[in-house]
């Protein structure tokens, strides 16, 4: 099992050989919501609703956000990461074989 965690980020990723596990503390989800750039009006999670908010997030991560592609919030996250791989923003040497490598 391999873990990746950066101090101060509030979440970690774990590889157990068969799965990628993303662990995000509920407090980190709430902080991310409260301080997102589009939250200029100061919307916050209601008192006593931390667990319900986490359940709401978990329930809707798979929701479709693009009817043409069928993309969900999760697939959009991975698509953006994979574009960064392909565009060279992240060093993937030795891991990904690109068409031009042939």
pLDDT band, residue 102 (cuts 50/70/90)? low
Nearest to 55 by CA among 34, 31, 29: 29
How far apart are the two ends of the chain, measured CA to CA in Å? 33
The rounded mean pLDDT for the chain is 90
Q: Give 23-68 pLDDT, tens digit per residue.
A: 999 999 999 998 888 887 888 999 999 999 999 999 999 999 999 9
- Taking residues 87-95, what's their average pLDDT? 91
Domain ranges (residues) in the chain: 1-45, 61-96
**For the whole model, what pTM was predicted?**
0.77
Does the structure show a pLDDT above 80 at 100?
no
Q: What is the DSSP string of 56-90?
A: HHHHHTT-EEETTTTEEHHHHHHHHHHHHHHTTSS
Identify how many contiguous H helices and E strands the chain contains and give both numbers.
3, 5
Alpha carbon distance 88, 82 (integer Å): 10
Residue 42, pLDDT score: 81
């Amino acid at each position: 099992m391999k873990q990746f965690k950066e101090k101060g980020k509030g979440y970690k990723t774990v590889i157990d050989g068969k799965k990628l596990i993303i662990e995000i503390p509920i407090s980190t989800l709430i902080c991310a919501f409260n301080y997102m750039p589009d939250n200029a009006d100061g919307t916050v999670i209601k008192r006593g609703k931390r667990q319900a908010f986490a359940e709401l997030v978990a329930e809707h991560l798979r929701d479709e956000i693009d009817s043409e592609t069928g993309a969900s919030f999760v697939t959009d996250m991975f698509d953006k990461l994979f574009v960064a791989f392909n565009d060279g923003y992240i060093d993937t040497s030795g891991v990904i074989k690109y068409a031009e490598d042939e």
